[in-house]
């Protein structure tokens, strides 16, 4: 079974939203070695609050919508891929080793529920296949939240 199907079926069979989020994070981190930090933020009011994650602890446990690449993706309601975080003025550093990042909103219709955030120690680590995989995972998670 490919990774997308493994994750969407784990999400579908999860007993609750928290398990679905944790399983998605676990499977992504386990199967994509270049995904150095994998986490989910959930929108609470006008802040993104860190949920399940794997990787080094992040200082950014609450991110206002007007800050960071995370805030930008939620505000724009669109996936953001940053090939070189150090040349992006929006970037909020989590680890000095991080070189690239992808943030994929979890949407129900027009409403943002949260987002998947992934950092890589490799520059330009996220291509079209990563975007498609993560957008599919975000759609599956939206059905559970
Ligand atoms: N880099 C993110 C902050 C979250 S950490 O990467 C976990 C940002 O710029 O919004």
Q: Is the CB of 79 under 6 A from ligand 1?
A: no
Q: pLDDT tens digit string along 71-109?
A: 999 999 999 999 999 999 999 998 999 999 999 999 999
- Which pLDDT band holds residue 1 (cuts at 50, 70, 90)? low
Q: Is the CB of 38 under 6 A from ligand 1?
A: no
Quote the pTM value: 0.97
Q: Is the CB of 49 under 6 A from ligand 1?
A: no
Q: pLDDT tens digit string along 113-145?
A: 999 999 999 999 999 999 999 999 999 999 999
Query: Which residue's C-alpha comes closest to atom 3 of ligand 1?
Result: 92
Residue indicated by tokens 């929006």: 90
Q: Is the CB of 82 under 6 A from ligand 1?
A: no
The pick from 57, 101, 121 for probing ligand 1's pocket by mutation, whose C-beta has the most ligand atoms within 8 angstroms, reads 101
Q: What would the 3-class secondary structure string for 108-140 be? A: ECCEEEEEEEEEECCCCCCCHHHHHHHHHHHHH
Query: Which residue's C-alpha comes closest to atom 5 of ligand 1?
Result: 94
What is the rounded distance in angstroms from the CA atom of residue 69 to the CA atom of residue 105? 11
Compute CA distances 20 → 60, 77, 140, whole Å: 22, 22, 9
Query: Which residue's C-alpha comes closest to atom 6 of ligand 1?
Result: 94
């Amino acid at each position: 079974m490919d990774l997308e199907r493994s994750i969407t079926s784990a999400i579908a069979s999860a007993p609750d939203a928290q398990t679905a989020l944790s399983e998605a994070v676990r499977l992504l981190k386990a199967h994509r070695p270049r995904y150095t930090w994998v986490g989910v933020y959930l929108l609470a009011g006008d802040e993104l609050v860190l949920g399940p994650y794997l990787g080094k602890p992040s200082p950014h446990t609450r991110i206002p919508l007007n800050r960071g690449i995370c805030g930008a993706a939620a505000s724009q309601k669109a996936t953001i891929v940053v090939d070189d975080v150090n040349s992006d003025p929006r970037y909020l550093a989590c680890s000095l080793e991080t070189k690239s990042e992808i943030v994929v909103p979890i949407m129900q219709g027009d409403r943002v529920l949260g987002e998947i955030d992934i950092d890589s120690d490799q520059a330009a680590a996220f291509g079209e296949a990563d975007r498609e995989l993560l957008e599919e995972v975000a759609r599956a998670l939206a059905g559970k939240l």
